[in-house]
Amino acid sequence: KPETISASVVIGADGVKSQIASYAGIGKPARVLPGIQIEAPYASEDSDFVELFPGSSAPGFFAWTVPLDEKVSRIGLALEPGIACKSGNGENSPLSYLEKLLHSNPHVKARYAGGMTDFVVGGIPIGPQEKTFSDGVLLAGDAAGQTKPTSGGGIYTGAFAAKIAGKVAAEAALGGDTSARRLSEYDRLWRKGLAKELDIGMKIHDYMGKLEDTQLNELIGSLNTPSILNMITEYGDMDHPSVLMRKLMFSGNSLRLMKAFGTFLKTLF
């Protein structure tokens, strides 16, 4: 039997196609990467490591294999929306790129045993919403575009924002004021904690997405030194990429980095 539940504040954490955002007139993230992932028999080279394939394997983002055990992995990719067909099995669709990865990439082809046990399609929002609140409504997670542009992950950022949203919503409801003006505190607080890292992530995402395969190979090769790898191991943090970038910029490797990245480094801070 249908049931109606009323609330003075609703937190929309219902994903990239958020219905709550639409009902509130906020809209949805403007930039969404279409993606596809399968679960399939795949003999990982090392089941403790995720494999990433940037460049032409998935233009604008990357492809990945995530081991579930030594014999099964999640294999997927996401594409820049301007490149991918939004539907169907066209030449530039996520499905088409996945098929190329499975059957044409020598590394993947040698480990993929064929078939699949599960699959999922979806979208990754890149870049936060301009507004994440309205009268009686707050948005968090994918609905607010709070995913990390460099990896597409959103657990840390979503949880960070959700904690603030819960606190602001509770205080507003108890105070009897759930207006947009009152709830704007949430928008201010989550941006204070996340906006800087998301902005740096967007710049890295856009920069890396424009590189050709040869440029990516040269860039990765230039970073393949013991001192740089040690710094990446010590300071690398998927949730705070700026920490590593600052450490590298002000280390003895700064000239090497300037040669590899050029003036792009200056735009990060």
pLDDT digits (tens, 9 = 90+) for 52-104: 999 999 999 999 999 999 999 999 999 998 776 554 556 789 999 999 999 99
Domain-located, residue 203: no
Same domain, 45 and 121: yes
Same domain, 188 and 217: no
Same domain, 81 and 49: yes
Domain-located, residue 24: no
- Residue of 157, 182, 180 lying closest to 172 (CA atoms): 182
pLDDT digits (tens, 9 = 90+) for 144-153: 999 999 999 9
Same domain, 150 and 161: yes
pLDDT digits (tens, 9 = 90+) for 177-220: 999 999 999 999 999 999 999 999 999 899 888 889 998 888 88
Range of the domain at 103: 32-125
> In whole numbers, what is the pLDDT of the chain averaged over residues?
90
Domain boundary among 76, 98, 125: 125
- The total number of structural domains in the chain stands at 3
Q: Can you give the CATH number for the domain in which 60 is found?
A: 3.30.9.10
3-state helix, strand and coil shares in percent for the chain, rounded to the nearest 5: 45, 15, 40
Domain-located, residue 205: no
Same domain, 75 and 94: yes
Same domain, 54 and 119: yes
Same domain, 111 and 136: no
Confidence at 257, pLDDT banded by 50, 70, 90: confident
pTM for the structure as a whole: 0.87
DSSP character string of 163-210: HHHHHHHHHHHHHT---HHHHHHHHHHHHHHHHHHHHHHHHHHHHHHT
Domain-located, residue 27: no
Output the pLDDT for position 108: 97
Same domain, 14 and 91: no
